[in-house]
Amino acid sequence: MKKILYLCSFLLTFSSCINTETKVKTASESMPSKAEFAIIIHGGAGTILKKNMTLEKETAYKTKLGEAIRVGYTILKNGGSSLDAVQKTINLLEDSPLFNAGKGAVFTNAGTNEHDTSIMDGKTLNAGASAGTTTVKNPINLARAVMENSPHVMLSGKGAETFAEEQGLQIVDPSYFYTESRFNSLQRIKEKESAKQKLDTKAAFYDPDIKDSKFGTVGCAALDKNGNLAAGTSTGGMTNKRWGRIGDSPIIGAGTYANNATCAVSSTGWGEYFIRAMVAHDISALMDYKGLTLKEAAQEVIQKKLSELGGDGGIIAVDKNGTMVAEFNTAGMYRATMNDKGELEVKIYKE
């Protein structure tokens, strides 16, 4: 009898050990793998169709996206901060006439170029932004200066430009931002808008060409080797905008958000809707409060919440584990990713 009891006890103990080991293994396998660092960028979303793109133009966009992301990748690989990677990567995009930011900024109804931008530190939740500037060569540099060297989060217009000068940032004549292609786009939209308004003002606003004039923003999100996240966004806004219109790009929580506990996000699209939905923060909140993955949260916000409101556009994001996501409800979005293995992906169209 004692032998039987001993045998039963042994079998129960052995079974318990097996179950414990299985549970540990299963829990371990379910844990997401963590990348050492990661970086993702975008150059705007909209009706970007391959049939409308020449090989030369497609190559130019892909080359510049690859060049820009390598700048941030190198910083991260060498142990630099996610903030530096975001800022320097966006600098390159701002200096290119291909994108609606910095040099390539679109024109307002008055024929000027007005820039909006923001940056956020996921470690401290500190942030900086500027809106409506016309003379700061690289607006993202101003956003970072506001974050680090002022007690404020957002500055605008002439005051922001005065602060930029005091900070020693590069100031240029507004003519620096003139590009013929953007100016011609303004003229075409004005002509089309005028013709449409004679028939129906609402129809003019929702005409596909006029609607797409709202897209073009650039942005970057990054995770560094210290586990710190950062995101930044820069834009020239909406072609033919008037009355000092400001979109989502300089608004923390709408166009940009970063939190080490969840993710870093940069938005691009129809700004009014991104503001109403607080898109960037909402993705982080779904991860934080509901335990959703970055992919699940991004899909919920972009494909459901934003779409149901009537908004178009997308986001790029990276979470605390280095998982990267590009989610959009438009025909295309200029985007690129690089992981800690140096693997580069550059894409334009929906796949």
Q: Which positions are catalytic? A: 217
Environment class of 34 (CB within 10 Å of its CB; exposed 0-12, middle 13-18, buried 19+) = middle
Kindly tell me the sign of the dihedral angle through the C-alpha atoms of 145, 146, 151, 156.
positive
Neighbours of 79 (CB within 10 A): 10
Q: How far apart are CA 225 and CA 218, in angstroms?
A: 24
Environment class of 24 (CB within 10 Å of its CB; exposed 0-12, middle 13-18, buried 19+) = exposed
| Residues 264 and 222 sit within 8 Å (Cβ to Cβ) | yes
Kindly tell me the sign of the dihedral angle through the C-alpha atoms of 163, 165, 171, 175.
positive
